[in-house]
Amino acid sequence: MDKNLLYLFLFVLAGCSKGEKKSPSVFFAGEIVNPTSSHIVLLKGDKVVDSALLNEHNRFSFSFDSLPQGLYHFNHTPEYQYVYLQEGDSVMVRLNTMDFDESLVFSGRGSAISNFLLELFLAREDEIPLINNYYNLEASEFLKRVDSLKNNKVALLNELQNEGEIMGSQVKIGKASIEYTYYTFKEKYPFRHKNLAHSGIMEKLPKEFYGYRNKLEFGNEELTYLRPYYNFMLNHIQNLAYMSCNDECKVKGQVVRNQLHFNKHKLHLIDSMITAKTLKDNLYRYVAFDYLLKVHDTEENNRTFIDEFHKLSKNNKHLNEIDKLYNGIANIQPNHVIPDVLVTSTDGDTLSLKEIAKDGKTVFYFWSGSDRRHFENITKRIAILTKQKPEYKYVGINMRTSEPLWKGLIEASGLNKELQFRSNDFKTLTESLIIYPPNKCVITEDTLIVDAFSNIYASF
């Protein structure tokens, strides 16, 4: 992103936010062009503060007598973005959902920091191809280029601070957003450089390469939901786990993320390093979901992992969610009977998956009317498989689609109505069968699970 254009944009918008804050009240309002939902939800971290309906002109407003200062985000399904609010603020936002982030602009008293964070986000998106090229460079040159990009953003922040448009905690949030973005690129460098340059070994880095690690904050709750900070922590933990595991563990060949001990390393690093409770809980959750959902390890290894997780994170606020995931995965291991989830046929009859799978080999696949491209692609795939692998019965399970639309799509696509069913309980279905990723399918033989983590494209 051009530095001068970014500076000019911020300077002009900053002029709108000057003025004394005379009241503790906070006002946040705006207009949504081409809305994708009927309302806006304002959140602080993962807690809902309030929600507001759009009026007939697609406008919304929040008004608070007082509000804790800090970083919030507003959600207009399926998108969300940051807004920083404090006493006396009167912030307006306008956006077009057809180009959500790029069209978004804040104005009014207190809007400068929100615009700055938004522009940092957009600048990062623009810089990704550039950074990808930088990964080919030697370490000293990589540091020089990345630090130059970072310093440009810091200079803009300093200008806004000198003008009195951004101050106090806002400066800290702005600075952290800049620094942790570029720290993340540095964390990735050794792995990306090795892969791109095909050197086969980890490059010996200059002593100053990880100098920024001396300045890291592991106990700042205010940064917990700042995207650059959280993304950095994920990469940092991954990096340290790889390095320590590679140096200390007796492992044949390269350490990869789907090894049990590697993920246990990550749990112990989080336990020893992170002091901010919410951040620690969220990082534990990420590691648990990443391992349980993506690795598809043995029952014994999954049990070992979850036991270790419970030992280290007894009071995790996500504990119930993680236990449900673990139990769901445990129940769909090979040779287990498929869960007795109920679905509805096109004739309106209610059947269980166990009844549907009782004879022969069955492949259950999943689709939703809200994702037409996925539906069209999977319909084509099922037609191919029906010819190539006729020994299987291919059963489609629809999720989150109204009954009329569901029947209309089946009719239009030419799918076999007798093999199409609809779930009326999305929560039970997803918790029982762990519907992830979208191309997942479940293979059974005479009601017994053969593989609950197959891929409709890759597994046949």
Residue 74: beta bridge partners? 42, 81
What is the pLDDT at residue 257?
Answer: 54
pLDDT of 329-351, one tens digit each? 999 999 999 999 999 999 999 99
Query: Dihedral through CA 340, CA 341, CA 347, CA 348, nearest 10?
Result: 110
What is the pLDDT at residue 206?
Answer: 85
Q: Per CATH, is 342-455 categorized as 3.40.50.970? A: no
Nearest alpha carbon to residue 420 among 453, 379, 449:
379
371 burial level (CB within 10 Å; 0-12, 13-18, 19+): middle
User: Edge-to-edge, what's the strand order for the sheet holding 26-33?
Assistant: 59-64, 26-33, 90-96, 105-109
Task: Yes or no: say if 231 and 184 are a contact pair by the CB < 8 Å rule.
Answer: yes
Locate the domains of the chain by residue range: 3-162, 216-330, 342-455
Q: 3-162 maps to which CATH number?
A: 2.60.40.10
What is the pLDDT at residue 258?
Answer: 58
Amino acid identity, position 201: I
Nearest alpha carbon to residue 66 among 23, 35, 28, 97:
23
What is the pLDDT at residue 243?
Answer: 82
| pLDDT tens series, the chain, 460 aa | 454 444 444 444 444 444 454 578 999 999 999 999 999 999 999 999 999 999 999 999 999 999 999 999 999 988 999 999 999 999 999 999 998 989 999 999 999 999 999 999 999 999 999 999 999 998 999 999 999 999 999 999 999 999 999 999 999 999 999 999 999 999 999 888 876 655 544 557 888 899 999 999 999 999 999 999 999 999 999 999 988 776 666 555 555 555 888 999 999 999 999 999 999 999 999 999 999 999 899 999 999 999 999 999 989 999 999 999 999 999 999 999 999 999 999 999 999 999 999 989 999 999 999 899 999 999 999 999 999 999 999 999 999 999 999 999 999 998 999 999 999 999 999 999 999 999 999 999 999 999 999 999 998 8
